[in-house]
Amino acid sequence: MGFFIIALLLIVVAIFASCVKIVPQANAYVVERLGAYQQTWSVGLHLKMPFIDKVAKKVLLKEQVVDFAPQPVITKDNVTMRIDTVVFYQITDPKLFAYGVENPIMAIENLTATTLRNIIGEMELDQTLTSREVINTKMRASLDIATDPWGIKVNRVELKNIIPPAAIQDAMEKQMKAERERREAILRAEGEKKSTVLVAEGKKESLILEAEAAKESAILRAEAEKEKMIREAEGQAEAILKVQQATADGIRMVREAGADEAVLKLKSLEAFAKAADGQATKIIIPSEIQGLAGLASSVKEVMK
């Protein structure tokens, strides 16, 4: 009897323990009672009715990432490519996620493939290769609307790889190579052009500097020549002034010595005689000195 009671107590404890559930962070439990939806448990401690309640589905509420295999798509200009996508989604309603669709991940994959084909089918190859952001935005909007009844929110859709056919890849590589060579030629030509312009500008500046230097040199030479002429003129003027001063001093001394008019005229005659020894070719002698000159000649002849 005692063993039966102990076993019964153990069974009761086990049943009670099975009815106690702890929901961890970022999780939610969908609980059913007798096969029908009862409630959704959030984070924390919960108790369920034994035998009639059960946890039908444990739902992770974190953002999840699913990488789908490459899907064949055809562009508007009939080029077949393979594109693989990455979908970032998050469960927002555990009840809708548990009862909305049988296999949510497979449903999202198929929906992604069909949406991608529809979008790429309206675009040409070149546009497809350069419009990743446009394609991502359109796919995210379409998938978010389609998965809303399933309690799923699509946050982002990214095109991971766009794989064109081998022939298209080869043509694209050749085109890229030709484009790089063209850019290289343009850059080389621009460099040579800039070099030529810089050389010409350097020569121009050199010529300008040489012309300015020559101009300054000519100005300095002209100023030096002017200064020389001024100094020579000043020297000649000073010499003339000294000669006149000496002559004036001589006349003054003669007068102070008491010389008469005849002596003064004789001195004047001597001055004209000295003038005749210079460069002058014609000398005009005043009339008052001419008489004195004749007298001097007569005296000279008598003394012979």
Is the model more confident about 214 or about 29?
A: 29
CB atoms within 10 A of CB 267: 15
CB 91 within 8 A of CB 60: yes
pLDDT at 260: 54
Average pLDDT along the chain:
81
CA 212/CA 198 separation, integer angstroms: 21
152 - beta bridge partners? 91
Tokens representing 253 are 């001394």
pLDDT of res. 158? 92
The model scores a pTM over 0.75: no
Residue of 32, 112, 122 whose CA lies nearest to 77: 122
Average pLDDT over residues 66-91: 90
Rounded Cα distance, 156 and 137, in Å: 8
The CB density around residue 142, as the number of other CB atoms within 10 Å, is 19
Domains and CATH numbers, the chain: 2-60 (no CATH), 64-164 (3.30.479.30), 260-304 (no CATH)
Specify whether the CB–CB gap between 61 and 28 falls below 8 A.
yes
Q: Is the pLDDT of residue 280 over 70?
A: no
| CA 286 – CA 293 distance, rounded (Å) | 11
